[in-house]
Structure 1
Amino acid sequence: MDGSNVTIDPRCTQEPPYAIDIILKLDIFGIILYAVLTFMAAVSMLIYLEECLYIYRKVPTNKKSVIIWVNGAAPVIGTMSCLGMWIPRATMFTDMTSACYFAVVVFKFLILMLEEVGGDEAFLKRAGKNTLRISTGPCCCCCPCLPHVAITRRSLFLLKLGSFQFAILKIVFTILSIVLWTDGTFDLSDLTIYGAAIWINPFVGILTIIALWPVAIMFMHLRTTLRTLKIIPKYAMYQLVLVLSQLQTAIINILALNGTIACAPPFSAPARGYMLSQQLLILEMFIITLVTRLLYRRQYDPLPTDEEDANENTKMIVLPQSSSES
């Protein structure tokens, strides 16, 4: 049978539908689905705003900004996904907004870990005699032979710079992508060598890996110190947001571009892939918002004074048991 005779619904090759077209064609299941997901996104944002009020009242000044930024990752991504679900033609912009916000969160999470031990000066004082193990993911987890690096002002500056560059350059490349899109040059579905997306996206991916590396290095060094502050589940939530908002979305979009996800008029295959991605993200970010609220809603008492332990490189302080018993 000659595959060339197969006819394709013209609507499968069109651009994503307008919001009004979606609203007019919703059936009962669609109405319920959109209503529930919109409710989840709205509740996520309300929880976040309430958490911001709590942080503003209860948290020390030096930690307010970073905690608000980190807490906002899931609700902001969920809200942008809700907008992308209702307005499919704006999906590229909502995804870029979420990605830019999370690029800042990567840097802010590094700063959060430093602030939890008292800031840069306190960190250098506590860890000045220790070293950093740089053979960790996502860059060098398979290179255990790499030497440890001394903790100095210069090494701390390089760690910050490694994450900060992503926060800046991600915004720069997003603006560049929008400018090229207005000129018809940037198209996410154009994977040819002449398309701008095939050059910009891999480079941004490399910047992402470079930015995640310093955060992983700092986490591996402070995870024992900050274990009573639930830094491990906090880091897990941060990593989960990264995987779901970046990797999951990329996989779904690739499957849609390859035709694995079928067309469902009025949605073309790529538009349907984006739609499924947005709907999944709303549900996932709602759950993560609830979990992060439990993790960050606590009393922010200062850490006890440092007690040196030469036998354990990552354990910089010994916490009194009385605090846990109380």
Structure 2
Amino acid sequence: MKMDGTNHTLFDPRCREQAPLAIDVLMQLDIFGIVLYSVLTFMATVSMLIFIEECIYIYKKVPPNKKTVIIWVTGAAPVIGTMSCLGMWIPKATMFCDMTSATYFAIVIFKFLILMIEEVGGDESFLRRSEKKTLKISTGPCCCCCLCLPNASITPRNLFMLKLGSFQFALLKLALTILSVVLWTNGNFDPADVAMNGGAIWINSFIGFLTITALWPVSIIYIHLKESLRVLKIVPKYAMYQMVLILSQLQTAIINILAMNGTIACAPPYTSQARGYLMSQQLLIVEMFIITLVTRLLYRRQYDPLPEEDGEEGIKKTLTSKNAVENA
């Protein structure tokens, strides 16, 4: 049997087996592998420790109405990094680790929307500030090309619909995750099965549709409140939220597609698909570690209420108040 790259992938029987056991991963590690796995595990551990320390700070310093949402949002990167680390060490648990990360982030999407509203004082304050304004709904990811769509009035009903648009994803993603696990135990669900008669293609397509409809309300609220919350660093916070979304969803999907097509060669004991998962997990650990550090800087601040005035005048007053607190 020839052992060049192409033939090795095609003819080695180990390339057609399932993901390796954790003991197989340990046994095949060389010096470089031991160092790499140790560094990545250290990064994931530090990310979780930073998150725990941040939770303690939030519990002590942050107003009650913001504690829960901030903890959920700041936990996105550490949780995804930790799940990626577990999947790296235990390849057979990759599906469950990915589902846990995706379900957590589905909740984070809804929590980030609530966070922006709470930053201006909650629902009543949001409606009072915006009573003479409208919402731009011709925005991504649903309607960024539909510039002819009229702006929507800001009413309690429309605000409820925006919240519902994101909450449905958090609820249905959890339900679909449980359904996927149940189908997997019965042999009817395989993430690598893209056949039309398989359950994975239909469930994943529906999840993709739910994701788009959940991101749309967050984008609408962000565009509406961006200037009012600029002093609270909402732009970099939103950027970090988007980075977690892109890296954990889009990047992972691209790597997995390449692995399923055989573009990523197998390297026994890893099959092509298992090696694709491994590459994705290792990248995510590093990326989520960096995002955790940035997120800690963004959310560790004095949580003073915003002034009733929007625009430059309100921002100047907030900055003056903040400087006074820091100089005291």
TM-score relative to the length of structure 2: 0.94
Unaligned runs of 5+ in 2: 1-5
Deviation (angstroms), 1:190: 1.1
Q: Any conservation in 2 of the 1:304–1:319 contact (CA below 8 Å)?
A: no
- 3-state secondary structure, aligned to 2:222: helix
Partner of 2:119: 116
Label 1:69 to 1:114 Cα distance change in 2 as closer, same or farther (>3 A).
same
Partner of 2:64: 61
- Among candidates 197, 211, 219, match of residue 194 of structure 1: 197
1:55-105 Cα offsets, whole Å, 9 max, x none, are: 000000000000000000000000000000000000000000000000000
- 3-state secondary structure, aligned to 1:224: coil
1:70 aligns with 2:68: no
Q: Distance in 2 between matches of 1:32 and 1:165?
A: 43
Identity %: 70
Deviation (angstroms), 1:189: 1.3
1:194-215 Cα offsets, whole Å, 9 max, x none, are: 1101111011000000000000
* Pairing 1:205-224 to 2, within 5 Å after superposition: 205-224=208-227
Q: Distance in 2 between matches of 1:245 and 1:72?
A: 14
Partner of 1:102: 105
- Among candidates 112, 133, 138, match of residue 136 of structure 2: 133
Q: Any conservation in 1 of the 2:231–2:315 contact (CA below 8 Å)?
A: no
2:204 corresponds to which letter in structure 1? N
1:286 aligns with 2:284: no
Q: Distance in 1 between matches of 2:130 and 2:10?
A: 67
The number of residue pairs the alignment matches comes to 317
Label 1:274 to 1:81 Cα distance change in 2 as closer, same or farther (>3 A).
same
- 3-state secondary structure, aligned to 2:11: coil
* Pairing 1:1-326 to 2, within 5 Å after superposition: 8-306=11-309, 317=314, 319-320=316-317, 322-323=320-321, 326=324
- 3-state secondary structure, aligned to 2:259: helix
- 3-state secondary structure, aligned to 1:191: coil
2:321 corresponds to which letter in structure 1? S
Structure 1 stretches of 4+ moved >2 Å: 315-319, 321-326
Deviation (angstroms), 1:129: 1.2
TM-score relative to the length of structure 1: 0.94
Deviation (angstroms), 1:325: 5.3
Q: Distance in 2 between matches of 1:322 and 1:17?
A: 59
Q: Any conservation in 2 of the 1:78–1:286 contact (CA below 8 Å)?
A: yes
Q: Distance in 1 between matches of 2:323 and 2:88?
A: 47
Q: Distance in 2 between matches of 1:7 and 1:126?
A: 64
Q: Distance in 2 between matches of 1:319 and 1:15?
A: 60
RMSD, aligned CA = 1.6
Q: Any conservation in 2 of the 1:44–1:289 contact (CA below 8 Å)?
A: yes
- 3-state secondary structure, aligned to 1:300: coil
